[in-house]
Chain A
Amino acid sequence: MKTFRIGGVHPSENKLSAGKKIEPMALPKQAVFPLSQHIGAPAVPCVAKGDMVKVGTKIADAGGFVSAAIFSSVSGKVAKIDSVIDASGYRKPAIFIDVVGDEWEESIDRSEELVTKCDLKPEEIVAKIKDAGVVGMGGACFPTHVKLTPPPGSKAECVIINAVECEPYLTADHSLMLEKPEQILMGVSLLMKAVNVTVGYIAIENNKPDAIALMTEKAKNFPGIQVVPLKVKYPQGGEKQLIDAVIGRQVPAPPAIPIAVGAVVQNVGTAYAVYEAVIKNKPLFERIVTVTGKSLANPSNFLTRMGTPMSQLIEAAGGMPEDTGKIIGGGPMMGKALLNAEVPICKGSSGVLLMSEKESLRGEEQNCMRCAKCVAACPMGLEPYLLAKLGEYADWERAEKEDIMTCIECGCCTFTCPSNRPLLDWVRLCKNTVGGIIRERNMKK
């Protein structure tokens, strides 16, 4: 069975909510939409205080090419445009909407009927995806239409669908595959058509045998699409690792992007969103969110409208356990600890994880004993112990030479360190600083 070649770790999977049905989440009283839910320029609000909106009404325009529009997930009245603490921990501008009823835009096709025909041209598909504000649903939130517009001179050869869900705990993609396999496959076909290729791979880790079986079965009706089971290893869901695992090619260091080796990688959630956007005219305003945690009474997968506060999801999953030490937006390896449970669900919120105090406690930091386990674990072939030291000593030049910019911040080094050293914290600081220096240098040129 295939997997990526360098490094990797095996965190315990803890897929507590696996196999649970997707349940629709109740509407919130007030929905909050941060304007930066994606990588790139923040969206620009196109509604004002007091405006009435419906489900699916555009409330913010894309702020540039690398940006995405935002759509209301509820019907009601715009209460204010203010700031809210989002998953980053910073206060960011956001649109607040008071919910009244549940009235949808007429253009949205709400029928459950499966459509497997589409006569649109590739450009039309991309345009529709763009108009629906679809972004990468895996967590990075890169606007999808940008990925589907290869820069001149590069040619896509295949579409790879990321359904590995290598983060422990999370099961959002898994449950989606079990319930909407045909829609996903249709979405993949649309993506393949958009970039003009005939080959599509759906990569699934073999800890989800039911999903592999179901998708393989259904994929028979969709020409060119092939399900690729992969050996379980974190961070297989990293774009570069995934391409390496599936087609055995390695994407060169930044600024090269996956298209350089002919691959377009999309998350399985994105494929579903693409289906809904193109076939059903439904912009991206809801997604599957896993709410999980060892002490949580009822770990679940919820179909949640964007803007719902996480506290409501936690309540629906059995309430906040008393021993909660950390609330994490996303998975435990790459997710961010949140300041409070009022953070709204955004396009990239794949999960809410409640960790007990004991579980989330970091061990006491000890001296590095140079065991080289971080070097063995790094999927990018870097030397985290060295990069962390360079970050601590502010030796940015040396860090750049040691290829710090290729770090994907997967956290394998910190995960594996026997001395409990916060390696990634330092590496991240170092990477951000070096990145700033490089940008400055490029500006001068």
Chain B
Amino acid sequence: MSPHVHSGDSVSKNMRWVIIAMLPAMLWSFYAFGMGAVIVTAVSVASCVFFEWAINKYILKNDKCTVCDLSAVVTGILLAFNLPSNLPLYIIIIGALFAIGVVKMTFGGLGCNLFNPALAARVFLLISFPVKMTVFPEVGQMTAYADAVTAATPMANLADTSLLDLFLGNVGGSLGEVSALCLLLGLVILLASRTITWHIPVSILVTVFALTGLLHIAYPVEVATPWHHLFGGGLMLGAIFMATDYVTSPMTPKGQLIYGFCIGFLTVAIRVFGAYPEGMSFAILIMNAFVPLINNACKPKRFAKEVKK
């Protein structure tokens, strides 16, 4: 059966690149939050891998080694990125169980899940343990900034925070989201290794920048500058690592642009008008649900044919 050669690309290779791309942000979190970050990351990854292995072996009775594809490791790191560094360990384990057990494996494992496991787990934990999930430790030079997920006047705080600190990561927040610089470095790695295409991250960031820019001009006091929105909170993390998750994003460039635009729009809507100060996770999850629809509506440009619909 032709073809008889293969590109040599594999699931684990792609996942390895994602992990490599996450390293800068991870190392920064270790530096900024110290031991707490290391423990949270380690527990999260270990429990994700354990649940993946256990469920696969004892519940699905599948001989194939799905841990080897490293997707559980990626989920674990992403989950850790979304947690504060002083979170009790049992909550992390519950989160990992939810991510792997409920969101991923019940749908049939890698490739079959509708929602991004790490993100769904974060939202699950956010709703289940609202206080613990939104109290961030003060480490190093962190200002009194509470991450966007705290209920206390985040926007006012956001506007007061120095842009440079936001960019570099000298602020509080959950593990992975603080340093926009490290995340952008990750984006460069992902693009350079051809793991993802530019469509989703760029469309999200541009949309958020444009919308918040317009709003800032209209309401300069209530709405922080677009730069603050771009670098603050989980936007970068979401745009680069969460929304670009293969499984839960559309298949065609056009679909990806629509998806990115909608996420950006929803994020701004939730951030500025909604009750929650942080909208990224919800925006991505909502758009995850629309991905099958987008896939149906946006077909790639067929050879010698006008684009359908």
Per the CB under 8 Å rule, do A and B touch in the complex? yes
Stretch in contact with the other chain, from A55-63, A125-133, A223-231, A381-389? A381-389
* Most central of B6, B71, B112, B246 by chain A CB within 10 Å: B6
Residues of A within 8 A of B64 (CB): 364, 366
Q: Which of B128-167 contact A (CB under 8 A)?
A: none
Shortest Cβ distance from residue B111 to the other chain A in the assembled complex, whole angstroms: 4
**Is residue A367 contacting chain B, with contact meaning CB distance below 8 A?**
yes
Interface of B is mostly: loop
A383 in contact with B301 given A337-B1, A370-B111, A425-B1 (CB within 8 Å): no
CB <8 Å contact, A415 and B6: yes
Q: Write the B1-45 contact mask toward A (1 if CB under 8 angstroms, else 0).
A: 111111101110110000000000000000000000000000000
Q: Is B216 an interface residue (CB 8 A)?
A: no
Q: By the criterion CB–CB under 8 Å, are A240 and B10 in contact? A: no
For residue A249, which residue of chain B has the nearest CB? B304
Chain B residues with CB under 8 A of A370: 111, 246-247, 249, 251
Say yes or no for A255: interface residue by CB 8 A criterion: no
Question: In the complex the two chains form, is A251's CB within 8 Å of B4's CB?
Answer: no
B302 pairs with A416, CB closer than 8 A:
no
Contact indicator per residue, chain A 411-436, by CB within 8 Å of chain B (1) or not (0): 10011111110101100000000000
**Contact of A414 with B247 at beta-carbon distance under 8 Å, contacts A373-B9, A381-B300, A383-B299 already known:** no
How large, as a class, is the contact surface on chain A?
Answer: 35 or more
Q: How far is the CA of A189 from the CA of B195 in the complex (A)?
A: 47
From A332, A376, A418, B5 is in contact (CB under 8 Å) with A332
Judge whether A369 and B7 touch: CB under 8 Å.
no
A-side contacts of B197, CB under 8 Å: 376
Question: By the criterion CB–CB under 8 Å, are A381 and B301 in contact?
Answer: yes
Specify which chain B residues have a CB less than 8 angstroms from the CB of A250 in the assembled complex: 303-304
Pick the contact of A333 from B5, B110, B301 — CB < 8 Å? B5
Partner of B251, one of A326, A328, A336, A375: A375
Nearest A residue to B69, CB-CB: A366
Complex partner residue of B4 from A355, A366, A371, A375, CB under 8 angstroms: A355
- Asked if A406 lies at the interface with its beta carbon under 8 angstroms from chain B, I say yes
Per the bound structure, the CA–CA distance linking A334 and B5 in Å amounts to 10
Q: A335 CA to B111 CA in the complex, in Å?
A: 31
Among the listed A334, A403, A406, which residue makes an inter-chain contact with B3, where contact means beta carbons less than 8 Å apart? A334
Judge whether B2 and A372 touch: CB under 8 Å: no
CB of B4 within 8 A of CB of A372, answer no
Chain B hits for A411, CB < 8 A: 2-3
B10 with A418: CB separation less than 8 A: yes
Minimum CB–CB distance for B35 against chain A, Å:
34
B192 to chain A, nearest CB (A): 16
Q: Flag if B305 contacts A253 (CB, 8 Å).
A: yes
Per the 8 Å Cβ criterion, residues 250-309 of B in contact with A are 250-252, 299-305
Contacts of A372 on B, CB cut-off 8 Å? 246, 250-252
Instruction: Flag if A369 contacts B110 (CB, 8 Å).
Output: yes
Over the window 236-258 of chain A, the binary record of Cβ atoms lying under 8 Å from chain B Cβ atoms (1 yes, 0 no) is: 00001000100000111100000
A424 contacts B3, C-beta separation under 8 Å = yes
Q: How far is the CA of A332 from the CA of B1 in the complex (A)?
A: 10
Q: Which residues of chain A are near B304, meaning CB under 8 Å?
A: 240, 250-253
B109, B110, B303 interface centre (most CB from chain A within 10 Å) = B303
Given that A360-B4, A372-B246, A418-B10 are known contacts, is A366 also in contact with B303, CB under 8 Å in the complex? Answer: no
Is there an interface contact between B5 and A369, defined as CB atoms closer than 8 Å? no
Nearest B residue to A234, CB-CB: B3
Besides A406-B303, A420-B10, 17 more A-B contacts (Cβ < 8 Å) are A253-B303, A253-B304, A328-B2, A332-B5, A336-B2, A366-B64, A366-B66, A366-B110, A367-B110, A369-B71, A370-B251, A375-B251, A376-B197, A381-B300, A403-B302, A411-B3, A419-B11
Q: 4 smallest A-B Cβ distances: which pairs?
A: A411-B3, A250-B304, A367-B111, A381-B302
Q: Which A residues are closer than 8 A to B by beta carbons?
A: 6, 9, 11-12, 168, 240, 244, 250-253, 326, 328, 330, 332-337, 353, 355, 359-360, 362-364, 366-373, 375-376, 378-383, 385-386, 402-403, 406, 409, 411, 414-420, 422, 424-425
